């Protein structure tokens, strides 16, 4: 089963992806946990370029193509072979991140996003995707608490992030069969339990 987690920065998706990973591991399931951009040697190198604040003049399309290149490498090198061997693959972000950030939030046209996305993932769709939905205000509070410095992607404006949030909601609405929207303002434990229930329902069916 291929499971992805989506949401804006600091929504809590990595926390949930990791908790799910630990839970499945404890149940002796074959499971791997990867993150985007990254997850392979080449993809981690691309990640560095994408997050480097020195790359101020990166064009919107260059950014999207780099995310897609990193994703393609991860899909072919790690995700597909593990799915074939019967693993649960948990991925912290996948192509919906590009649709939300570079498409809804940014300047890349929807038809380009959709075409390149399909090529990058070699038509591999997640079985289930969780959108951890939080307000921008909540993530600002969390950032202050963590005293986290912005990377290049995070240094974008409030308007940009608002567009990404509503973009994610739209994506989840369009693909209701695959998506589960979770209120990310609930406690970590409550969200985790919601996710487990959904996964178990899917496995039993």
Instruction: Tell me which residues touch ligand ADP (CB under 6 A).
Output: 7, 9-15, 142, 146, 184, 187-188, 191
Q: Is the CB of 29 or the CB of 142 nearer to ligand TYD?
A: 142
Residue nearest to ligand TYD (CB): 101
Of 203, 204, 196, the closest CA to residue 22 belongs to 196
Q: Does 69 bind ligand TYD (CB under 6 A)?
A: no
Q: Is the CB of 10 or the CB of 24 nearer to ligand TYD?
A: 10
- Here the tokens at position 121 are 């993932």
Q: Does 138 bind ligand TYD (CB under 6 A)?
A: no
Alpha-carbon gap, residue 179 to 182, rounded angstroms:
10
Q: Is the CB of 167 or the CB of 184 nearer to ligand ADP?
A: 184
- Here the tokens at position 81 are 């072979």
The minimum distance between CB 40 and ligand TYD, in angstroms, equals 14
Stretch near ligand TYD under the rule CB under 6 A, chosen from 30-38, 108-116, 119-127, 187-195? 30-38
Alpha-carbon gap, residue 200 to 130, rounded angstroms:
14
Residue nearest to ligand ADP (CB): 12
Q: Does 170 bind ligand TYD (CB under 6 A)?
A: no
Q: Does 154 bind ligand TYD (CB under 6 A)?
A: yes
Task: Name which of ligand ADP, ligand TYD, none residue 187 binds, using a CB cut-off of 5 to 8 Å depending on partner kind.
Answer: ligand ADP
Residues that bind ligand TYD (CB under 6 A): 9, 14, 35-37, 67, 93, 97-98, 101-102, 153-154
């Amino acid at each position: 089963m291929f499971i992805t987690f989506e949401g804006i920065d600091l929504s809590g998706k990595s926390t949930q992806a990791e908790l799910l990973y630990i839970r499945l591991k404890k149940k002796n399931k074959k499971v791997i946990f990867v993150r985007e951009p990254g997850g392979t040697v080449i993809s981690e190198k691309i990640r560095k370029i994408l997050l480097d604040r020195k790359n101020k003049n990166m064009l919107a399309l260059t950014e999207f193509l780099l995310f897609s290149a990193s994703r393609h490498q991860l899909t072919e090198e790690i995700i597909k072979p593990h799915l074939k061997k019967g693993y649960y693959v948990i991925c912290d972000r996948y192509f919906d991140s590009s649709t939300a950030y570079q498409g809804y939030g940014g300047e890349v046209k929807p038809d380009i996003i959709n075409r390149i996305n399909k090529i990058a993932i070699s038509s591999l769709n997640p079985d289930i995707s969780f959108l951890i939905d939080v307000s921008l205000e909540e993530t600002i509070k969390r950032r202050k608490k963590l005293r986290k410095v912005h990377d290049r992607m995070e240094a974008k404006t409030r308007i940009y992030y608002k567009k990404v949030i509503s973009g994610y909601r739209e994506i989840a609405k369009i693909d209701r069969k695959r998506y589960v929207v979770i209120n990310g303002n609930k406690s970590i434990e409550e969200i985790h339990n919601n996710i487990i229930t959904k996964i178990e329902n899917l496995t039993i069916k």
